[in-house]
Structure 1
Amino acid sequence: MSAREQILQRLRQRHGGEIAVPETDFSVIADREWSAAEKLDRFQKMIESVHGEVHRVSEEDWLDTLADILQSRSARNLLVPLKHAIGRTIRDADRPDMPELLGYDTAIEHWLPKLFNDVDAAITSTRGAIAETGSLILWPNADEPRLMSLVPPIHIAVLEADQIFATFHEAIALQRWASGMPTNALLISGPSKTADIEQTLAYGVHGPKELIVIVIGAE
């Protein structure tokens, strides 16, 4: 008998048989009867409370907003996904008011020096957002590796307004996370921040100094 089986046997004997698993009540985290407008308002309020920035735009205007954001920060370049529709849309627009567009056209190992030293901003898609905590959901992949959202000084995230969920529980249930998840799943709630031993909170010490969310379909 293995050590694990011995431990389980002792537990069963102590409790007089099989251990009963109590029913789980998720109502305390699941019952959030918020409308779409309320979810958007709460998400914006929560993420702005930790120095995030939110822009509500239409499908037709989001590229104009993106160009304005980059120009206002004098960004020299923008790292975009090569395959995702967001990256293709930006490239196909071929706008003169956009900075130089960069992409992972070689292995990430060869990109690291440029990524850490020369990239001003990066734009990524999102899988959704959580209104209760003001968090973005990202599922990184080869086209949008997690370093895109964790390294450049400015992280711009594109969020569809109809993909804002009331709670984390609602997100994983409606998007069926149990059927399969990536190696990495990121929950991002504002730009980078840290605290010293005196509990003084500082923003932008490492990682993105700015988190900017473009919410499409929420004009």
Structure 2
Amino acid sequence: MSASAESLRARSAIFERLRAATRDPQSAPLDVSAALLPLLADPSGETRTQRFIRHARSWRAEVIETTQAGWPEALQALLRARAPRQLFAGPGSEIADTLQACVPPQQLRWFDREISALKPELFAADAGITTTLGGIAASGSLLVMPSIAEPRTLSLVPPLHIALLHESRLQDSLLAAMRHYGWATAMPSNLLTITGPSKTADIQRMLVYGAHGPRELVILLVQDRGRS
């Protein structure tokens, strides 16, 4: 029997065992939540927002608390302090109109062409700004879902990533987010979890920031609900 035929036979046997297991009326799906949820409980008495901020800052992310009405002003203050020459943004994002109004035109750049045409300008940019799908309080992570309106490159290439996160979109854990968005039945094709700026310790066990992405992550946390 050839190697390819043997491989196909082994694969068929594996699939048959899996099918048999699912047909077994005695077998029940494993409910991992019963085991995981106690581990995710936080006895400190922190709110979900406080827990997110603490974890995010522990990963060297900067968190700026602001409001729905005040975040454009907070962004302007951040841009004055960091003085990036160019801020790249998605022209079709939910914050595009606000950015158009509050960021100087000479500083704002749109990701409005193919990356091959934008590459020289994009790789020379200082900062990129994106919205977020939500955040994970248990780890201080951001949930980012790239799209045509906001390509992945905006949060990957510029050395400073500015992320807008609404407090109402925070979830206690990744498991809670999976349930909230129904990913068991409709898993998104492109979903990112971002925990702090890019970092690696692969080289001589030295922790280096910015090796594979932004050196800095600044989160504009919009307080759009009561503390919970």
The match for 2:107 among 100, 108, 121 is: 100
Residue 145 (str. 1) matches residue 145 (str. 2): no
Which runs of 5 or more residues in structure 2 are unaligned?
A: none
Which runs of 5 or more residues in structure 1 are unaligned?
A: none
Once the two structures are TM-superposed, the CA of residue 20 in structure 1 deviates from its matched residue by 3.4
Q: How far apart, CA to CA, are the structure 1 residues paired with 2:135 and 2:161? A: 15
CA 122–197 in structure 1, closer or farther in 2 if over 3 Å, else same: closer
Q: How far apart, CA to CA, are the structure 2 residues paired with 1:190 and 1:120? A: 17
Among all aligned residue pairs of Structure 1 and Structure 2, give the percentage whose two residues are the same amino acid: 35
Aligned pairs for 1:18-57 within 5 A = 18=24, 20-21=27-28, 23-31=30-38, 32=40, 38-57=47-66
SS of the residue 1:178 aligns to: coil
The match for 1:90 among 80, 87, 99 is: 99
Once the two structures are TM-superposed, the CA of residue 59 in structure 1 deviates from its matched residue by 1.0
Q: How far apart, CA to CA, are the structure 2 residues paired with 1:141 and 1:51? A: 26
Is the CA contact 2:90–2:112 (under 8 Å) kept in the aligned structure 1?
Answer: no
* TM-score for both structures, normalised by structure 2: 0.82
Aligned to 2:84: 75
Once the two structures are TM-superposed, the CA of residue 194 in structure 1 deviates from its matched residue by 0.7
Is the CA contact 2:68–2:224 (under 8 Å) kept in the aligned structure 1?
Answer: no
Aligned to 1:171: 177
Aligned to 2:209: 203
Q: How far apart, CA to CA, are the structure 2 residues paired with 1:99 and 1:147? A: 21
Q: What is the Cα-based RMSD across aligned positions, in Å?
A: 3.0
Aligned to 1:124: 130
SS of the residue 1:68 aligns to: helix
Aligned to 1:59: 68
- Provide, for residues 181-210 of structure 1, a one-character-per-residue CA deviation record: whole Å limited to 9, x for no partner: 443211000001010344221222341111
In structure 1, give the amino acid aligned to 2:148: A
CA 29–109 in structure 1, closer or farther in 2 if over 3 Å, else same: farther
CA 196–10 in structure 1, closer or farther in 2 if over 3 Å, else same: closer
Once the two structures are TM-superposed, the CA of residue 50 in structure 1 deviates from its matched residue by 1.6
In structure 1, give the amino acid aligned to 2:167: A
Is the CA contact 2:87–2:107 (under 8 Å) kept in the aligned structure 1?
Answer: yes
Q: How far apart, CA to CA, are the structure 2 residues paired with 1:26 and 1:187? A: 20
Q: How far apart, CA to CA, are the structure 1 residues paired with 2:46 and 2:60? A: 21
Is the CA contact 2:56–2:62 (under 8 Å) kept in the aligned structure 1?
Answer: yes
Aligned to 1:5: 12
Is the CA contact 1:152–1:207 (under 8 Å) kept in the aligned structure 2?
Answer: yes
Q: How far apart, CA to CA, are the structure 2 residues paired with 1:84 and 1:74? A: 23
Aligned to 1:192: 198
Q: Which moved more, 1:4-13 or 1:125-134?
A: 4-13
Once the two structures are TM-superposed, the CA of residue 54 in structure 1 deviates from its matched residue by 0.3
What is the number of residues matched between the two proteins? 214
Q: Which moved more, 1:209-218 or 1:36-45?
A: 36-45
- Provide, for residues 79-105 of structure 1, a one-character-per-residue CA deviation record: whole Å limited to 9, x for no partner: 1111122122111x2555x76111122
Residue 156 (str. 1) matches residue 165 (str. 2): no
In structure 1, give the amino acid aligned to 2:160: I
Once the two structures are TM-superposed, the CA of residue 148 in structure 1 deviates from its matched residue by 0.5
- Provide, for residues 140-174 of structure 1, a one-character-per-residue CA deviation record: whole Å limited to 9, x for no partner: 01111111101101100000101110000000101
